[in-house]
Amino acid sequence: MPQTLAVTGFFNRSASPNYLGEWHSHPSFSLMPSNRDQDSMWEIVNDPSVGANFAILLIVKLEAGELAGSVNLFASGFDVMAGELLFEGDSN
């Protein structure tokens, strides 16, 4: 199923039109978004029928027994923006 159809289906079933983004794990791969990840996110934010102004992609994995992750913001008309992911209890 194309990504936008899945998102549209979510909106149709949801009582709220709020949609933050996508998340998934890369258990044995880099935490950087793959080309497919990026294409999916751009499809979401550039499809007027979805109605999302931005989307956030969260990728997580266990690395040496610790949770590691990355977060990236996709917004139409802007380059991908990498965010800082802070875990509860971090002293940063």
Domain ranges of the chain: 28-87
Angle formed by the axes of helices 3-13 and 35-46, to 10°? 50
Per-residue pLDDT, 25:
72
C-alpha–C-alpha distance, residues 9 and 7, integer Å: 5
pLDDT for 79 equals: 95
∠ Cα 86 76 48 (to 5°):
120
Give the pLDDT confidence score for residue 92 in this predicted structure.
Answer: 58
Alpha-carbon gap, residue 59 to 69, rounded angstroms: 5
**Phi/psi at 60 (nearest 5 deg)?**
-130, 160
Per-residue pLDDT of the chain (92 residues; tens, 9 = 90+): 455 556 566 666 665 556 556 667 777 788 889 898 899 999 989 988 888 888 888 888 888 888 888 999 999 999 999 998 888 776 65
